[in-house]
Amino acid sequence: MSKSILLIGSNGQVGTELQHTLASNYKVIALARPEIDLTHPDKLRQIIRETQPEIIINAAAYTAVDKAENEPENAHLINTVAPQIIAEESQKLGSFLIHLSTDYVFNGNSHYPYRETDSTNPLSVYGQTKLAGEIAIQQNCPHHIILRTAWVYGTYGKSNFVKTMLRVGQERSEVRVVADQIGSPTWAQDIASTITQIIPQLTSENAGIYHYTNSGVASWYDFAIAIFEEAEKLGFPLKIANIIPITTPEYPTPAKRPAYSVLACEKISQILGTYPPHWRQELRLMLKELQGKSL
């Protein structure tokens, strides 16, 4: 009998990929809004108690980083309160909880990849509420894996940096992109694959926080150039001619972002038995998958 998994946030970038990677080996109960609403704690408890899953994967979050500055209550409900409830119910059921978190729990002042044990100090409401969610899980459910990732893009979901750049590149000849924020672009499919590989190894000894991103580093400017170069090779219709590097102050946003948020992935690589593939290679594969689909 295959294990039952409650997948919360099943229609997002990672959630949609998880539906594909988990389907053949597990009984997946895939829920997203409006069936499940993380702003309604009682309903969330009820769903978990009714489904009684052996594993819960929370791939849902309030991810509108700038909007969160003006909607802190909503961000708090979805990113902090909901994970606490999921953790409490998971503990009562004896379930294992896998929860997605973010590089934005760090302030970006480091010059070396952040390890799981490094001090957190988020700069934004989004980062603060995600960190509070992590803490709530740690306090309420010892059988958990918190998987921090970064700069996520994918074929599915409404919007991400790759899709935005492709849209802009089809409409305009010039784009200005921030060049002084450094991270690791990460394909949603690789995150889903990693979670799927981790599941058979879920034990109390392996519980804790892990970092997972594609390997290699880039600025948003580097990432944009790579998107256009790879898309051009594949024959995407592009007007873009100039990509202009700018500084963070030249592109002011309501939420502060970490200038450097590269995550060290050695810990999870030991469990997986392999190091994450390079971001440029995975970008190429994603664009091939995206060809012919609407942006």
Domain with residue 145: its CATH number is 3.40.50.720
DSSP state at residue 173: S
Set 26, 62, 114, 126: catalytic member: 126
Residue 83 lies in a domain: yes
Partners of 101 in the β-ladder: 148
Mean pLDDT, consecutive 10-residue stretches, the chain (295 aa), reads 88 94 93 87 93 95 93 95 96 96 96 95 96 97 96 89 94 94 97 95 90 97 97 93 94 94 96 95 95 75
Which of 33, 72, 76, 30 has its CA nearest to residue 53?
Answer: 30
* Beta strand ranges found along the chain (DSSP E): 4-8, 27-31, 55-58, 96-102, 144-149, 152-153, 174-178, 182-183, 186-187, 208-211, 218-219, 242-246
244 is written with which tokens? 């202009």
110, amino acid identity: S
Q: How far does Cα 83 stand from its chain's mean position?
A: 15
Q: Which ranges of the chain would DSSP assign to H, the alpha helix?
A: 13-22, 41-51, 72-76, 82-93, 125-140, 161-171, 188-198, 220-233, 266-272, 279-290
State how far the alpha carbon of 208 is from the alpha carbons of 46, 130, 149, 150, 268, in Å. Answer: 26, 16, 14, 18, 11
pLDDT at 292: 74
**For residue 95, what are the domain limits?**
4-158+185-215+260-278
pLDDT at 164: 94
Residue 51 lies in a domain: yes
Is this model's pTM higher than 0.75 or not? yes
Task: Return d(Cα 289, Cα 71) in angstroms, integer.
Answer: 35
pLDDT at 32: 87
pLDDT at 35: 86
Residue 84 lies in a domain: yes
Residue 249 lies in a domain: no
101 is written with which tokens? 């978190």
pLDDT at 1: 53
Residue 220 lies in a domain: no
Residue 86 lies in a domain: yes
Task: Return d(Cα 12, Cα 95) in angstroms, integer.
Answer: 23
Task: Return d(Cα 132, Cα 127) in angstroms, integer.
Answer: 9
As for how many domains the chain has, the answer is 1
Partners of 148 in the β-ladder: 101, 211
Residue 79 lies in a domain: yes
Residue 236 lies in a domain: no
Helix (H) or strand (E) holding 272: helix 266-272
76, amino acid identity: H
Query: Is residue 126 among the annotated active site residues?
Result: yes
